[in-house]
Amino acid sequence: MTSSLAFEYLLTPEGLEHGRRLAVDEAGVITAIEPAEAPYDGVFAVPGMPNAHSHAFQRALVGVRDAGDAGSFWTWRDTMYAIAGRITPEQLEIVAGQAFREMLAGGYTSVAEFHYLHHLPDGHKGVEMAQAIISAARTAGIRLTLLPVLYQRGGFERPALKEQRRFIHESVPEYLEFVRMLRERCHLGVAPHSLRAVPFESLRALWEGLARWQGDKPPVHIHISEQRREVEECKQFYGRSPIEALNEEVGLGPEWQLVHATHASTHEIELIRASGANVILCPLTEAQLGDGFFPAAEFFLAGGRFAIGSDSNARIDAVEELRLAEHGQRLRLERRVRLGGPSPATCAWAHAARCGGGALGQRVGTIAAGCHADLVVLDHEAPVFGGLAPDCWLDAWLIGGSAADISHAYVGGVRHERAASPARGAASSRFARVMRELLA
Which amino acids are annotated catalytic?
260, 311
In order, the DSSP letters of 92-120 are HHHHHHHHHHHHHHTTEEEEEEEE---S-
d(CA 311, CA 288): 11
Radius of gyration for the alpha carbons in the chain, expressed in angstroms and rounded: 21
Q: What is the 3-state secondary structure (H, E, C) of 327-380?
A: HHHHHHHCCCCCCCCCCHHHCHHHHHHHHHHHHHCCCCCCCCCCCECCEEEECC
* Cα→Cα distances 294→12, 202, 299, Å: 28, 28, 9
Does the CA dihedral 397-401-403-407 come out positive or negative? negative
* Cα→Cα distances 175→55, 112, 132, 145, 360, Å: 19, 19, 18, 17, 20
* Contact of 97 with 57, CB cutoff 8 Å: no
* Cα→Cα distances 302→99, 238, 246, 274, Å: 34, 29, 21, 10
Biggest CA-to-CA distance, the chain: 64
